[in-house]
A = this chain, B = another copy of it.
Amino acid sequence: MTPEQAYEELLRRMKELSLLGNTAGVLGWDQEVYMPSANAPFRAEQLSLLAGMCHQRFTDPVVGDLIAKVEGSSLAKDPLSNAAVNVREWRRSYDRSKKLPQKLVEEMSRVSSNAQVEWVDARKENKFSRFQPWLEKIVGLVKEQAECYGYKDHPYDALLEDYEPGLTCAQLDKLFPPLKERLSTLVKKIGSAPRKPDTSILKRKCPIPEQQDFCGKMVEAIGFDFGKGRIDVSAHPFTTGLGPADTRITTRFEETNFENSFFSTLHEGGHGIYDQNLPSTLELYGTPRAGAVSLGIHESQSRLWENLVGRSHGFWVHFFPELKRAFPGVFDDLSLETFHFAVNHSAPSFIRTESDEVTYNLHVALRYDLETALLTGKVKVADVPQAWNEAMKKNLGVVPPTDTLGCLQDVHWSHGSFGYFPTYTLGNLYSAQFFQAAEKEVGPLEGKFEKGEFTPLKKWLNERIHAHGQTYRANDLCKKVTGQDLSSEPFLGYLERKFGGLYGF
């Protein structure tokens, strides 16, 4: 078999895997948005069968042989060629999947499935002790995973690889401490600023059908293609790609929380725009060459549209009149400045997902510190509530009154997802760095937003980021696009300028 034949055969097999993987995607989407909940046990069996079939097909030793045939051949000579990129990523995933013993995979699946149920109840009852034994099991299994994968410096590095290939603690340890410091200073300045926004206006009653219309229009305005996607309602907003012309976003609506519904929709719209603009030719769809780089890069796209665009002054110069028309009588008495200040309110709070641009990364930093400490044993699971509250006091100056509002708030640990949280912060940092680079090339963007022009930014993202698929690792892409390694400077500069201006310091 020639390397060319091996590559063709790999493409054929991976195409089938992508058909199956997207089939599971449809089942998962349906489960969250439309399936009667009584059918959950049957759906779980379907998903488990498909997952097993995908795993078995991907880890077939023949796949390893085929990859080896292409590696080192002339096909993979140019590291930026489609074949080289695909084989590089297939190799990475193949080797990783071979490193975990089946028993460990099954044990994690079993434990996390139970742990989620217990987490839901522990959170409801505000009873950490109920979740504690499960978290202990999970930390144990996660440590085992890290040992199986192997690592150079820190066991956490082995886990980060699942979400942000190539990222290490060494990099995060350089990134987080100065970020925390500058953000804490900003939080204090905002706290003692003379001006305060009137956030009560965001709780005004907005009928849900009108919210749906308005949010749909906004997502379309920034560039989401409803000819190749749709928007539905689910308990927790998410985005999922189900085919080359089928990207689905979900959101939720609350009558007295327009802000949350709107920015959630814009956030998922950003994820959706990334997904819709990855390569979608029949040859490449479903291969790494046509895939997203990492969770961090994906999050950069959602945060960019949600915050750097959606919370900008220019955006509301254009859309505030339309908002007033969409909700007659609700916002009529407000000035643009009052409204824009309100959607940029900032104050320490307990819940990460409800926090603002300034405080968000302090929540993430806390989780990063805690996860690494749990892995090395510096913090015991039994001490998590105390450690959590101390870090909240230190990072944000507030202590949650209950564990439900504290260490029990996130679902990630019950899934066994250690190493996921830092990608949220990477997303925020990348978003600002990309935005800065876009303005250098396209010119100032706020003025365009004022005129409702979002295509120049979208086109820039399409060409500079989306079109590359997984050709470059996250930091390489960042360097190629912005000329520099990932840095928190653009993000901090953006925050300090915007919030200094709004709060008057």
Cα–Cα distance between A228 and B43 once the two chains are bound (Å): 13
Check A246 against B27 for contact (C-beta < 8 Å).
no
Check A245 against B49 for contact (C-beta < 8 Å).
no
Check B243 against A16 for contact (C-beta < 8 Å).
no
CB neighbours (8 Å) of A285 from chain B are: 42
Query: Of A29-37, A343-351, A424-432, A438-446, which stretch is located at the interface?
Result: A29-37
Check A23 against B42 for contact (C-beta < 8 Å).
no
CB neighbours (8 Å) of A45 from chain B are: 19
Nearest CB in chain B: distance from A45 CB, A: 6
Check A42 against B230 for contact (C-beta < 8 Å).
no
Cα–Cα distance between A27 and B26 once the two chains are bound (Å): 7
Cβ of A242 within 8 Å of any chain B Cβ, yes or no, is: yes
Check B39 against A246 for contact (C-beta < 8 Å).
yes
Q: Mark A146-161, 1 if CB is under 8 A from B, else 0.
A: 0000000000000000
Check A46 against B27 for contact (C-beta < 8 Å).
no
Cα–Cα distance between A323 and B197 once the two chains are bound (Å): 51
Take A30-B30, A34-B230 as given contacts and tell me if A23 and B39 are in contact as well, using a CB distance cutoff of 8 Å: no
Q: Which of B19, B39, B42 is within 8 Å of A46, CB to CB?
A: B19
Cα–Cα distance between A244 and B50 once the two chains are bound (Å): 18
Check A30 against B26 for contact (C-beta < 8 Å).
yes
Copies assembled: 2
Nearest CB in chain B: distance from A439 CB, A: 33
Q: Mark A218-247, 1 if CB is under 8 A from B, else 0.
A: 000000001111101000000000111110
Cα–Cα distance between A22 and B42 once the two chains are bound (Å): 10
Check B230 against A39 for contact (C-beta < 8 Å).
no
A36, A46, A228, A232 pick with most chain B CB within 10 angstroms: A36
Cα–Cα distance between A243 and B36 once the two chains are bound (Å): 10
CB neighbours (8 Å) of A245 from chain B are: 36, 38-39, 42
CB neighbours (8 Å) of A34 from chain B are: 230, 232
Q: Which of B39, B226, B227, B229 is within 8 Å of A242, CB to CB?
A: B39
Cβ of A20 within 8 Å of any chain B Cβ, yes or no, is: yes
Q: Which of B35, B42, B246 is within 8 Å of A35, CB to CB?
A: B246
Nearest CB in chain B: distance from A210 CB, A: 15
CB neighbors of B among A45-61 (8 A): 45-46, 49-50
Check A22 against B46 for contact (C-beta < 8 Å).
yes
Q: Mark A6-28, 1 if CB is under 8 A from B, else 0.
A: 00000000001001101100110
Cα–Cα distance between A310 and B169 once the two chains are bound (Å): 68
Nearest CB in chain B: distance from A176 CB, A: 41
CB neighbours (8 Å) of A22 from chain B are: 42, 46
CB neighbours (8 Å) of A50 from chain B are: 23
Q: Which of B19, B39, B244 is within 8 Å of A228, CB to CB?
A: B39
Q: Which chain B residue has the least Cβ–Cβ distance from A246?
A: B39
Cα–Cα distance between A89 and B354 once the two chains are bound (Å): 56
Q: Which chain B residue has the least Cβ–Cβ distance from A15?
A: B45
Check B30 against A227 for contact (C-beta < 8 Å).
no
Cα–Cα distance between A19 and B23 once the two chains are bound (Å): 12
Check B42 against A244 for contact (C-beta < 8 Å).
yes
Q: Which chain B residue has the least Cβ–Cβ distance from A285?
A: B42
Cα–Cα distance between A45 and B242 once the two chains are bound (Å): 13
Q: Which chain B residue has the least Cβ–Cβ distance from A227?
A: B38
CB neighbours (8 Å) of A23 from chain B are: 23, 27, 46, 50
A16, A22, A46, A229 pick with most chain B CB within 10 angstroms: A46
Q: Which of B16, B36, B230, B232 is within 8 Å of A229, CB to CB?
A: B36
Q: Mark A435-464, 1 if CB is under 8 A from B, else 0.
A: 000000000000000000000000000000
Cα–Cα distance between A26 and B34 once the two chains are bound (Å): 11
The 6 closest A-B pairs by CB, nearest first: A39-B246, A38-B245, A42-B243, A39-B245, A39-B243, A19-B46
A-B contact pairs, 18 of them (CB 8 A): A16-B49, A19-B46, A20-B49, A23-B27, A23-B46, A26-B26, A26-B27, A26-B30, A36-B228, A36-B246, A38-B227, A38-B246, A39-B242, A39-B244, A42-B243, A42-B244, A42-B246, A42-B285
Besides the known contacts A19-B49, A38-B245, A39-B244, 18 further A-B residue pairs in the complex with CB atoms under 8 A apart: A16-B49, A19-B45, A20-B49, A22-B46, A23-B23, A23-B46, A26-B27, A26-B30, A34-B230, A35-B246, A36-B246, A39-B242, A39-B243, A39-B245, A39-B246, A42-B285, A43-B243, A43-B246
